[in-house]
Structure 1
Amino acid sequence: MEMYQNILVVVDPTTNEQKALKRAIELASKINENSATPTKITAFFSIFDFSYEMTTILSSGERDAMRQMVIKDKQQWLDDIIAELDSGMDIKSQVVWHNRPFEAIVNQVLEHGYDLVIKGTHQHDKLKSVVFTPTDWHILRKCPTPVLLVKDHEWPKNGNILAALNVGSDEEEHLSLNNDITEQASELAKLIKANVHLVNSYPGTPVNISIEIPEFDSSEYNNAMLKHHKEAMAAHANKFNIDVKNTYVEEGLPETVIEQAAQQIDAELVILGTIGRTGISAALIGNTAEHVIDQLNCDVLALKPQGYISPLDNS
């Protein structure tokens, strides 16, 4: 499988410390060592200032000219940051005027065929991430390509990559996503000289069953669930030549089990699948990827199922 050839880096215009851009350079330089085709990087962000839209004393042409001035100014700032990094790579820059950052990002992906989006992230306010969906959540749900959210954890040599799977399911979508996640983990591990670990959670006995059916043997049920998931995990690990010692199968919520496994091995990267959600269920429930990201102190690579089409894709 060809590793990423065309990377879109979402720049944070509020800081000169661009960890996403640095990670992109680190990743691209490793890809370029092993590939005949150099990986392209575009540094990008969108800006919007409502005051330019609202003023009535300017004609639409004057407003447009002012917008272009702001864009040019920001583009110069971005070019200066790229020059300071002195990566030796040809990194393009692009700034657009758009009032919804996540739409601007997804539009770039759809228009220019980027195969990876890299963005810096940080702890989200727990309450706000339910009421106001941050840009990260929108990108995770609506971006058709893999999204790498970068935190502050280094990528040391001989470090650990954790692939979060759903091996208990026989749904085609989950099976194919498990394969994609494990393939990506294996390819990246080769690239950055890391070890691959696999993690899977499974639900315990539903409480209402124990109450409604007193004779229900919950420990027997749990043992059967554990056995089923361990066997499925061993078969999956075997298929990808991953040592069963590097697999974790635990009862509990995915976000808890993944976080514990990531801490245990001090993972520098967690790879997981995300299914796009819209509407009220997305706002209220969120999804596993989102809960996990808030709890981890390392990078997260989120993959979509094959055939996923972004709700913003009008082609």
Structure 2
Amino acid sequence: MSEQSRLMLVVSPLMESSPAFDRAAALAKASGAALHIVAFDYLEGLANAGMANEQAREQMRLGYVERHRQWLEDQARPLRKIGVPVTTEVVWVERPLQEILIHLREQPMTALIKALEHESTLSRLMFTPLDMHLLRECPVPLHFVSHVRHALPRRIVAAVDPFHRDGQYEGFNDRILREAAKLASTCNAELDVIYAHDLSSITANEFGFDNAAMFFSSSKAKELYDAQGDAFRELAERNGIPPERQHMIMGNPAKVLSSYADAYDIDMIVMGRVGHRGIGRLVGSTVEHLLYKMPCSIWVISPEILTDQ
């Protein structure tokens, strides 16, 4: 992170602290970044209070916003004392997604930090949570904080997939590794790199076979594995990752990454999201599958904006 970097921390409208406060403060302090703390408030009970006097309801709303602003200032004061430049803001808005995106356009940020809000599977099926919208649309690195063991990460893993056959995201893995290396240097953390490869996701006709059985019983499967290994090692080496920090593991990527993070007490996993311009959805959706399952926090890198096809 550069000396001029600025982090944005989105906090709960309920005036409650979370591990995201500690993580944001630690990252800001370690990197010399400024920190902007913003709450997007909306309490339905207060917004729809059954009062005949509209002015009285408005006064209650303004009073709540002011109390929240003062509460944020109380949280910011100790950080300023240790040299972290902190600004605070409270915005009353029912649907915060667009306001967050507007903030990111008008006030360029190095990263957006937010506590992960755990939603039930049923809830996620019925409506798309804010965190999922941010995962798909946030234009800057997005750090979902959960399961915090250390305010400043000590062990970081970068997850890459260097074997994109269409070349659409060429260079994206290098950017993931650069971001991860920068974070590790800032935090004085250990950095490992994982390529979780899953041959079952490969379509047989992509390699000229009529069925998967013929593909996996042939020498082509070994050729593919060797090609993947070569691509991974080349990627890691050109980004200065030593051999002992390179891990190529066969299996479903979501399961591999979750198990590795749990087994090795990983504090943060850095990974990329891959999407289609214009429809705002994930392809492969490894990040989506991991979001609510990882035993550590996630730092998500978005690809560069692609030109329209």
TM category (shorter chain) comes to: 0.7 to 0.9
Give the 3 Å change call, closer, same or farther, for CA 140–249 of structure 1 in structure 2. Answer: same
Aligned residues: 301
Determine whether 1:139 maps to 2:134. yes
Pick the aligned partner of 2:155 from 153, 157, 160: 160
Map residues 1-315 of structure 1 onto 2, 5 A cutoff: 2=2, 5-14=5-14, 16-32=16-32, 39-50=33-44, 52=47, 57-58=52-53, 64-83=58-77, 88=82, 89-155=84-150, 159-205=154-200, 212=211, 215-218=214-217, 220-276=219-275, 282=281, 287-307=285-305
Name the SS for the 1:127 alignment partner: helix
Give the root-mean-square deviation of aligned CA atoms. Answer: 3.3
Partner of 1:36 in structure 2?
Answer: none
The answer to whether the 8 A contact 1:4-1:116 is kept is: no
Shift of 1:2: 2.5
What is the rounded CA distance, in whole Å, between the counterparts of 1:63 and 1:278 in structure 2? 42
What is the rounded CA distance, in whole Å, between the counterparts of 2:200 and 2:121 in structure 1? 28
Name the SS for the 1:93 alignment partner: strand
Any stretches of 5+ residues in structure 2 without a counterpart?
A: none
What is the rounded CA distance, in whole Å, between the counterparts of 2:213 and 2:272 in structure 1? 37
Any stretches of 5+ residues in structure 1 without a counterpart?
A: 33-38, 310-315
What is the rounded CA distance, in whole Å, between the counterparts of 1:15 and 1:222 in structure 2? 55
Shift of 1:249: 1.9
What is the rounded CA distance, in whole Å, between the counterparts of 2:219 and 2:3 in structure 1? 45
Name the SS for the 2:157 alignment partner: strand
TM-score where L is the length of structure 2:
0.83
TM-score where L is the length of structure 1:
0.82
CA offset digits 1:86-113 (Å, max 9, x no partner): 7533321111011112222222212211
245-254 vs 154-163, which deviates more? 154-163
Shift of 1:304: 0.8
Shift of 1:264: 3.6
Give the 3 Å change call, closer, same or farther, for CA 48–124 of structure 1 in structure 2. Answer: closer
What is the rounded CA distance, in whole Å, between the counterparts of 1:156 and 1:63 in structure 2? 40
Shift of 1:157: 8.0
Please tell me the residue identity of whatever aligns with 1:193.
N
Partner of 1:35 in structure 2?
Answer: none
The answer to whether the 8 A contact 1:141-1:277 is kept is: no
What is the rounded CA distance, in whole Å, between the counterparts of 1:183 and 1:146 in structure 2? 13
Shift of 1:72: 1.1
Shift of 1:14: 3.2
What is the rounded CA distance, in whole Å, between the counterparts of 2:81 and 2:297 in structure 1? 21
